[in-house]
Structure 1
């Protein structure tokens, strides 16, 4: 079964964690590929795109995509997936989540999409852990169907499977 999920995070505009913090086990595997602007020099963690792809035996590859649109950005982008995030930033600025104290308190905002496509439940759990890590690092909240900070995200999606 193919699993696909995209979660959108609204957070203060802070530097991202190192790219290797997303799906750490994938970076250590022999058969993976990475792309994005995370490797640019002089951007101090303010990267905007990360794409990871790894093989799954006998199935489609697992893919993790992280795209960010920053209110205060270093350079523009022509990616449609990021243009969609600009509309979410416009919604934040227009007060769509004004009733969420965490979002309402943000001054400079970044909107990040974290998406996964996989047939591997192990890779899917690693995706959920990456979302939780990112929420905690950035001090953000998911928007859309669920408005969750890192602790609430863990409780809802990861606690039941903690070892």
Structure 2
């Protein structure tokens, strides 16, 4: 069935089943491979995208549940917060294997859009459910603090 979906600011038509998870529509139908499959049960965060600006797990979200809402993937994330997070990630050398990083970045950007000076607790709550097999959590937290400071000045 052909469905219309707005992804990264562009309307797309996809021919998929109504119950197809958004993750696979993004990866397989639209070729946006930056969003990763991790667990398939919305527990690891690798598949995090924005739906109407809010972070959501795409591996369990059926495409039919989107309606007219807009999806933003790691390929389309932009703005001051995204730039600050990406720069802080580089400076702090956050990624190791890199597999979880698109979901980590999306969650960090969402946090900084809501909380300008996050505490460690704010960061822990916002990043909860984003699993990093390489355990770079200390660097992730430091990078989020760096990004927040960069956004201040």
Report the TM-score when normalising by structure 1. 0.29
Larger fraction in helix: 2
TM-score normalised to the size of structure 2? 0.31
Report 1 or 2 for greater relative contact order, CA contacts < 8 Å, sequence distance ≥ 6.
Answer: 1
Answer 1 or 2: which has greater strand percent: 1
